[in-house]
Amino acid sequence: MNVHARPQTKLDVVPLTKYTGAEIRGLDLRTKPDDDTVKAIYQAWLDHLVIIFPDQKLSQEDLIRVTGYFGEIGELHRPPKYFPKGYSKILPGIMMISNIRENGEPIGALPDGEMMFHHDMIHSEVPSKGTLLYSVEIPSKGGNTLFASGYAAYDTLDPAVRNALEGKKAAHHYNYGSVKKGDNKGTEAFGECVHPVFRTHEDTKRKAVYVNRLMTVKILDMPEDESTDLLNKLFDHSEKKEFVYEHEWRLGDLLLWDNRCSTHARTDFPSTERRLMLRTTVKGTVRPY
């Protein structure tokens, strides 16, 4: 054996379902992994769409540093006047998601209950490539995050639906803070954008369904009833259980998901129990094509 050979990076990657999710065990992200390990984590992320790093003890600074392994950290897109109160207490680039209230006002964003499937920031020109979410306080039950593979949805799509939509674009609209389409819970601030219905992932070159129930409004150049019918078919197909990994949060879980090829949703949880997560995003580098 050549003693000068670089050690082989051997990550303990445990796939969780057929299409979506893998746990990477044995890493303490307070210490920076070597470059080969970071590359191997990135590859595992591309392969499994959602990566779970269990049992972390991260400071806000750690979370920002880890985010940087996957690209440039994203800024918050919500206009500052709509920042929840707790935002003054956290580092720039970190979003606090919480139902904790002080004087009746939520300290974080997206405080309550169930949330429909969506891609983070699909309503912007260059949507976030990835999102990291770290659990600080969790309720005794619920508040699970469901992840669905857009690749699996594309690969198994009814050919008639796929042919009708190949090459088409869809319009997306999002009122910040909304959790169900048309719930009027969002702020008056919003984002809107048009992207292809099927997106090619720039790293893997694979195609994925790129519309979602929360934010996609319509397919362009198509009568409205046909657009609505096809979108509903796409949503129902994309959210099938066999494509979904449901994550039950434990304290100290850090998750990283790929917004280019997966959607996520949240299940309901008791409003009487505290939930606090820290979120960062990795900036996208290309306009979806």
Sites of contact with Fe ion (CB under 5 A): 120
Using the minimum distance from each CB to Fe ion, give the nearer residue, 119 or 237. 119
Judge whether 96 and 278 are in contact, CB under 8 Å: yes
Q: How far is the CB of 220 from Fe ion (least distance, A)?
A: 24
Instruction: Output the six-digit token pair for 243.
Output: 């494509």
Q: How far is the CB of 131 from Fe ion (least distance, A)?
A: 6
Question: What DSSP designation does 73 have?
Answer: B
Using the minimum distance from each CB to Fe ion, give the nearer residue, 9 or 187. 187
Judge whether 126 and 287 are in contact, CB under 8 Å: yes
Q: How far is the CB of 222 from Fe ion (least distance, A)?
A: 27
Q: How far is the CB of 264 from Fe ion (least distance, A)?
A: 6
Q: Which helix (H) or strand (E) holds 43?
A: helix 35-48
Q: How far is the CB of 214 from Fe ion (least distance, A)?
A: 9
Backbone angles phi, psi at 2, to 5 degrees: -75, 115
Using the minimum distance from each CB to Fe ion, give the nearer residue, 222 or 245. 245
Q: How far is the CB of 132 from Fe ion (least distance, A)?
A: 11
Helices (H), the chain: 35-48, 60-67, 150-155, 159-165, 224-238
CA distance 276 to 86: 11
- Using CB positions, name the residue nearest to Fe ion: 120
Instruction: Output the six-digit token pair for 138.
Output: 């969790």
CA distance 130 to 258: 5
Using the minimum distance from each CB to Fe ion, give the nearer residue, 33 or 139. 139
Instruction: Output the six-digit token pair for 41.
Output: 């984590």
Using the minimum distance from each CB to Fe ion, give the nearer residue, 41 or 146. 146
CA distance 30 to 58: 6
Using the minimum distance from each CB to Fe ion, give the nearer residue, 120 or 258. 120
CB neighbour list of residue 163: distance below 8 Å, 6 or more residues apart: none
CB neighbour list of residue 183: distance below 8 Å, 6 or more residues apart: none
CB neighbour list of residue 199: distance below 8 Å, 6 or more residues apart: 150, 207, 208, 210, 260, 261, 288, 289
Using the minimum distance from each CB to Fe ion, give the nearer residue, 120 or 239. 120
Q: How far is the CB of 272 from Fe ion (least distance, A)?
A: 23
Judge whether 242 and 89 are in contact, CB under 8 Å: no
Q: Which helix (H) or strand (E) holds 225?
A: helix 224-238
Using the minimum distance from each CB to Fe ion, give the nearer residue, 127 or 230. 127
Q: How far is the CB of 118 from Fe ion (least distance, A)?
A: 6
